[in-house]
Chains A and B, each alone.
Chain A
Amino acid sequence: DAGVTQSPTHLIKTRGQQVTLRCSPISGHKSVSWYQQVLGQGPQFIFQYYEKEERGRGNFPDRFSARQFPNYSSELNVNALLLGDSALYLCASSFVVDTEAFFGQGTRLTVV
């Protein structure tokens, strides 16, 4: 079975640009969450979606947005990129909202 897949794996953007990251959950999983991880820290929660509805939002600015599609895949959008947005962006898939979460390989975003 395929695990959680994220694309792209690496990305380099310029300050002020916009970026879209994509995630496909494990087959049968209905919940997708997004996390940001900077070097040396644990992942920080950004969003959770379940059945295409936002179920939680972390302490991130409005430049960050996300959505979930009918096939349960998800996109994370970040507008007006800042140097501080450089991080590993992780997508986690779970069957429902409070069960075990499994991570994709992540997207390494570098803002220059």
Chain B
Amino acid sequence: QKEVEQNSGPLSVPEGAIASLNCTYSDRGSQSFFWYRQYSGKSPELIMSIYSNGDKEDGRFTAQLNKASQYVSLLIRDSQPSDSATYLCAVPGAAGNKLTFGGGTRVLVKP
């Protein structure tokens, strides 16, 4: 079992709809979770951090964390073509000295 797993996609979403991305992780001791957005040929950009169970909203993005079920999700509301990118879930190691990334979910927002 991989440490951090994501569906590779592509997740095709009509413009204006909600895109829902999921990530599962294996380390029950993980305390913080990050979502990065990566456009093709570019580097990852941090878009959300979440540390506590429940929801965290930032603009059109909502991160949801359920530590008991070991999953973290990202919702993108009112999806725009500019949201078309690969979204990476990242979880720090126990010593906090590395991030373990999932393989990323590719999102395509169609006008």
Which A positions have Cβ atoms within 8 angstroms of B? 33, 35, 40-45, 48, 50, 55-56, 58, 88, 90, 92, 97-98, 100-106
A42-B88 CB under 8 A given contacts A33-B98, A56-B98, A92-B99 = yes
Contact of A42 among B92, B93, B95, B101 (CB under 8 A): B101
**Is B96 a contact of A98 with CB atoms below 8 Å?**
yes
Q: B-side interface residues toward A, CB under 8 Å?
A: 4, 32, 34, 36, 42-46, 49, 88, 90, 92-93, 95-104
Residue among B90, B95, B99, B100 facing the most chain A CB atoms (10 A cut-off)? B99
Bound complex: CA A35 to CA B36 (Å): 14
Query: CB distance A105 to B43 under 8 Å?
Result: yes
Contact A45 B100 (CB under 8 A): yes
Report the minimum CB–CB distance from A41 to chain B (whole Å).
Answer: 6
The verdict on A97 contacting B44 (CB below 8 Å), with A41-B103, A42-B102, A42-B103 known, is no
**B-chain residues with CB within 8 Å of residue A102 when the two chains form the complex:** 46
Partner of A55, one of B43, B45, B95: B95
With A42-B88, A42-B103 in contact, do A97 and B46 touch (Cβ < 8 Å)?
no
A100 vs chain B, min Cβ distance (A): 6
